[in-house]
Amino acid sequence: MEDLLAYIISRYNYWAAIILLLIGLYGMIAKNNLLKKVIGMTIFQAAIILFYVSIGDKRGATIPILAHGHDGAHQAVEAAAYANPLPHVLMLTAIVVGVSTLGVALAILQKIYRVHGTIEEDEILETIDQ
């Protein structure tokens, strides 16, 4: 029982990622203001990136840059001494895609404001019904 408890508590990064995912989902679904929905989406993306970067972390490792340069190319690389760089590279792409998504979302939001005069969801629905 205590082993299980220690196992669950020591993986607190995953719990933080789950909490951030739920906060972002709540913002996207329950908030009435469109800008807050967009902020919820960025929080959701940050939570997913946190989950992936947590997988690449290792205990007792250092940053994934080889300590010996091109002269020592014949030496074997000790993989346990470096954090796994594969999730980092994938999430680098995800951050850039996230910013372009944010830019398009905010452009559409400004167009909606220009047409409807508001960014509150219920007021936009009222103006559509008229």
Partner 1 sequence: MTWDASLLWQFDLLILPMVIICAIAALSFKDLVSCAVISGAFSFLMCLLWTEMLAVDVAFTEAAVGAGVSTVLLLGTALHVKRKSKD
Q: Which residues of the shown chain bind partner 1 in the complex (CB under 8 A)?
A: 10-14, 16, 19-20, 23-24, 26-27, 31-33, 35-36, 38-40, 42-43, 46, 49-50, 53-64, 83, 85, 87-89, 91-92, 95-96, 98-99, 102-103, 106, 109-110, 113, 118-120
Instruction: Provide, rounded to whole angstroms, the least separation between the CB of residue 126 and partner 1.
Output: 13
Phi-psi region of 118 (alpha: psi -120 to 50; beta: other; left: phi over 0): beta
Nearer to partner 1, 30 or 72 (CB): 30
Instruction: Provide, rounded to whole angstroms, the least separation between the CB of residue 129 and partner 1.
Output: 19
Give 68's DSSP letter: S
Nearer to partner 1, 74 or 80 (CB): 80
Cβ distance 25 to 47 under 8 Å?
no
Nearer to partner 1, 25 or 74 (CB): 25
Tokens representing 105 are 């979302």
Nearer to partner 1, 5 or 74 (CB): 5
Cβ distance 47 to 17 under 8 Å?
yes
Instruction: Provide, rounded to whole angstroms, the least separation between the CB of residue 31 and partner 1.
Output: 6
Cβ distance 24 to 43 under 8 Å?
yes
Q: Which of 94, 115, 123, 128 is nearest to 34 (CA)?
A: 123
Instruction: Provide, rounded to whole angstroms, the least separation between the CB of residue 52 and partner 1.
Output: 9
Q: Residue 67 burial (CB < 10 Å; 0-12/13-18/19+)?
A: exposed
